[in-house]
Amino acid sequence: MNKKTIRDVEISGKKVFIRVDFNVPVRDGKVEDDTRVVAALPTINYAIEKGAKVILASHLGRPLKDKKKAEEKGITYDESKYSLKPVAVRLSELLHKEVLFAEDCIGEQARQKVSLMKAGDVLLLENLRFHAGEEKNDREFASKLAELAEIYVNDAFGAAHRAHASTAGITEFLQPAVAGFLMEKELDYLSKILNNPEKPFVAILGGAKVSDKIPVIESLISKGVDKILIGGAMAYTFFKAHGLTVGKSLVEDGMIPKALEIEKSAEKSGVKLILPTDHQVVDSYDPLHSRRVIPIEFTTAGLVGLDIGTETVAIFKRELEGARTIFWNGPMGMFEEKPFDEGTVSIAKAVAEATENGAVSVVGGGDSISALKQAGVADKISHVSTGGGATLEFLAGKKLPGVEALNDK
């Protein structure tokens, strides 16, 4: 990585603004999944140990968008569900020390909280997206954030693909601007996949839409991936492109020409593109009692494919044998509904097994990460990416505003 990190600047006694990604699920005032909070701990603890005054900022959901929808429908809008206060409580538990909380991220309240901080203190600002200026990358809002601190650290890779005030605009007013340890780790692993993967290199792509993955598929083919295993609903667009009956399975009709183009590109580049051979289906008229596994070519008009089948799992596992680099993004089926999580969980275990056999594995995407946890193998993966959209855009070869804004080494 050619960007400076928090190691490269003197932070002792300084007010350090750390943009983190605490966009986590909160229910009934409690954090349901603290994965992203835990991922930021190395940077936060380093800043504490160095005696910095640690000012944390994050977004949580899209409160203004939700507010607008509520007003249009004439229903009550509850802003409190977007507050980062429960995250401050969870972070206090993880750090084993009090985390101060500011009821706003700019203005007198925030300035006053910062002015009272001592070396080693941690302050979490309220949700950045309570202000429209955040997503608009408003210069005035960015300058108000910047006036709280003396050094800027971006450790929110998951938001690095957005040119927002706290990820890009702030660096115009606050320097130096460097990466945190999570940002560094993400860029190191993803750069290796993109530019110097050890071969054989296998990519596993799933999810609902081919359109979401096209730039990544094209980039991987051009970068010399050896195999691409395709599962999830996106596979049905490829099947329909070949004239197969897909029943009522999810298909992007507008992407059929692109699917054929991708297949031709893969073949021309010597990339093995592998689709499912069987799938779990239900009858759309009797979904509760009709679940079964059938070959893809046996699909009839009333059936809906919801997961890859056992034969496909076995084929995908076989294709992972001997892999030295693995990238996985996207579930193999309707993961959120049991028992259609079986294929995704099986792939999670297969990726973990391949990692134990020497592969470098990178897994991204919320459902894929959930599958790792469900399968009990999250700790057996080389790198679990917190990036989501940022991960896909980086691997598609796009420049990320939150990364570009940081100081070069």
Q: Catalytic residues, which ones?
A: 36, 209, 366, 389
Tokens of 341: 């999580």
Tell me how crowded residue 102 is: count the other CB atoms within 10 A of its CB.
Answer: 23
190 within 8 A of 391, measured Cβ to Cβ: yes
Pairing of strands 360-364, 325-329: parallel
Taking the C-alpha atoms of residue 348 and residue 331, their distance in angstroms, rounded to an integer, is 10
Q: Which helix (H) or strand (E) element contains residue 122?
A: strand 122-125
Least Cα distance to 106 among 135, 81, 131 occurs for 131
295 prior amide bond cis, ω within 30: no
DSSP assignment string, 386-400: --THHHHHHHTTPPP
Would you give the DSSP letter of residue 63?
H
210 within 8 A of 236, measured Cβ to Cβ: no
Tokens of 89: 């409580």
Identify residue 220 by its one-letter amino acid code: L
Residues 187, 142, 366, 28, CA torsion sign: positive
Please report the beta strands in 289-350, taking only residues with DSSP state E, as ranges in sequence order: 292-295, 303-308, 325-329
| Backbone dihedral region for residue 42 (phi beyond 0: left; psi -120 to 50: alpha; all else: beta) | alpha
- Residue 7, CA atoms < 13 Å, CB-side half-sphere: 7
Q: How far from chain centre, in Å, is Cα 33?
A: 14
178 within 8 A of 6, measured Cβ to Cβ: yes
Instruction: Give me the residues paired with residue 3 across strands.
Output: 408
